[in-house]
Amino acid sequence: MSAIKKVTVLGTGVLGSQIAFQAAFHGFDVTAYDISEEILEKAKARFAQLSEIYQADSVVAATREQAEAALARLLLSSDLGEAVADADLVIEAVPELLALKRETYTRLAALAPAKTIFATNSSTLLPSDLKQFTGRPDRFLALHYANNVWRFNTAEIMGTTDTDPEVYRSVVEFAKASGLVPIELKKEKAGYVLNSLLVPLLNAAAGLLVDDIADVETIDKTWRIATGAPVGPFQIYDTVGLTTAYNIASTSPDPRSQKFAALLKEKYIDKGKLGVSTGEGFYTY
Ligand code: NAD
């Protein structure tokens, strides 16, 4: 069993709410912190929705009692000092803005007790970008969840050269104890393991499409039949969401990415087709 018992999650947005609920569902005492009471009201609604999802999704098939017990283990707070006062682990899931994260760690460093481990859920920043603001680089690392954590339950764990190996191990144990499959990275790497594999695949698929080499269905079919994968790259785009795909493609200097961004906007986003979440993207659901 993990030495970590009390967990505090900073940020109750898309990922923070899932991280908090997943840990509470697996028996941890969780405090969910966000910046205002108003936002915490929205968090309550997110947790109620997650409680329904954990019961309805056959992957979890939670009983009502289990879902209610998870909700009962969740405490909400808009007072950072109070939220972290006795935390063994703080998982940070605040917006992906370097300055905001640095400011958050600076405040946290002053308020959390010396025992507390800090973990960032950042998708694109390296823990080295943040470690000097934590006041405890040896007790800091990245713990990266996937969206829809109850179903896509990888936990990519990535330390810096300063991370104490014992801290790393205790976070691996925490991941296992909270129903996740720990993915242990030996070194820092932008994109972790998953996006290091996935992003080149998705970019290559976009390139084949905008260069008019093959259509969406043909590209996906090729990948499925020839590799045995259950889905092709454009089915993955639909799951990730076309707005996210657009945001990434439109900021790339690569002219093919720009062309793909324009195609996404014109044919899909402007028509409200954002992928699985809206019932239509490259495919209809
Ligand atoms: P989000 O915008 O949905 O939620 C962010 C939350 O943080 C909001 O509730 C906001 O009120 C709160 N917040 C803002 N400032 C804060 C502060 N100073 N202290 C505490 N909370 C604050 O964002 P998200 O999609 O949940 O992403 C959060 C982090 O998770 C990012 O680092 C992102 O890279 C990472 N992540 C996101 C996904 C995803 O699919 N959305 C997947 C993996 C990792």
DSSP string, 161-173: TTS-HHHHHHHHH
Ligand 1 touching residue 254 (CB < 6 A)? no
Ligand 1 touching residue 95 (CB < 6 A)? yes
Across 18-32, average pLDDT: 98
What is the number of the ligand 1 atom nearest to the C-alpha of 94?
Answer: 7
Query: Which residues neighbour 230 within 8 Å (Cβ) at sequence distance 6 or greater?
Result: 224
Across 248-253, average pLDDT: 90
Ligand 1 touching residue 195 (CB < 6 A)? no
Ligand 1 touching residue 148 (CB < 6 A)? no
pLDDT band per the 50, 70, 90 thresholds, residue 243 = very high
Residue 252 has pLDDT above 50, yes or no: yes
Average pLDDT, the chain: 96
Q: Which residues sit opposite 130 in a β-bridge?
A: none
What is the number of the ligand 1 atom nearest to the C-alpha of 36?
Answer: 11
Q: Which pLDDT score is estimated for 121? A: 98
Ligand 1 centroid distance, CA of 204 (Å):
28
Residue 1 has pLDDT above 70, yes or no: no
| pTM assigned to the model | 0.92
Q: What are phi and psi of 89, to 5 degrees?
A: -140, 130
Across 248-276, average pLDDT: 95
- CATH numeric code, 199-278: 1.10.1040.10
Catalytic residue list: 123, 144, 156, 195
Amino acid symbol at 220: D
Q: Which pLDDT score is estimated for 186? A: 98
Across 234-246, average pLDDT: 93
Best probe residue, ligand 1, of 123, 124, 192, 274 (max atoms within 8 Å of C-beta): 123
Q: How does pLDDT run across 134-190, given as a tens digit for each residue?
A: 999 999 999 999 989 999 999 999 999 999 999 999 999 999 999 999 999 999 999
Residue whose Cα lies nearest atom 39 of ligand 1: it is: 147
Q: How does pLDDT run across 79-106, given as a tens digit for each residue?
A: 999 999 999 999 999 999 999 999 999 9
Q: Do 6-184 and 199-278 agree at the fold level?
A: no
Q: What is the largest CA-CA distance in the chain?
A: 58
Quote the percentage of the chain above a pLDDT of 70. 99
Residue 2 has pLDDT above 80, yes or no: no
Question: Which of 54-68, 131-145, 167-181, 239-253 is predicted least confidently?
Answer: 239-253
Ligand 1 centroid distance, CA of 259 (Å):
29
Domain ranges for the chain: 6-184, 199-278
Residue whose Cα lies nearest atom 18 of ligand 1: it is: 104
CB atoms under 10 Å from CB of 221, counted, come to: 13
Q: Which pLDDT score is estimated for 237? A: 97
Got the DSSP string for 49-117?
Answer: HHHHHHHHSTTT---HHHHHHHHHTEEEES-HHHHHTT-SEEEE---S-HHHHHHHHHHHHHHS-TT-E
Ligand 1 touching residue 39 (CB < 6 A)? yes
Q: Which pLDDT score is estimated for 277? A: 86
Residue 108 has pLDDT above 60, yes or no: yes
Ligand 1 touching residue 37 (CB < 6 A)? no
Quote the percentage of the chain above a pLDDT of 90. 95
d(CA 251, CA 242): 14
What is the number of the ligand 1 atom nearest to the C-alpha of 42?
Answer: 9
Q: Which CATH superfamily is domain 6-184 in?
A: NAD(P)-binding Rossmann-like Domain (3.40.50.720)
Nearest C-alpha neighbor of 239 from the set 272, 204, 276, 205? 276
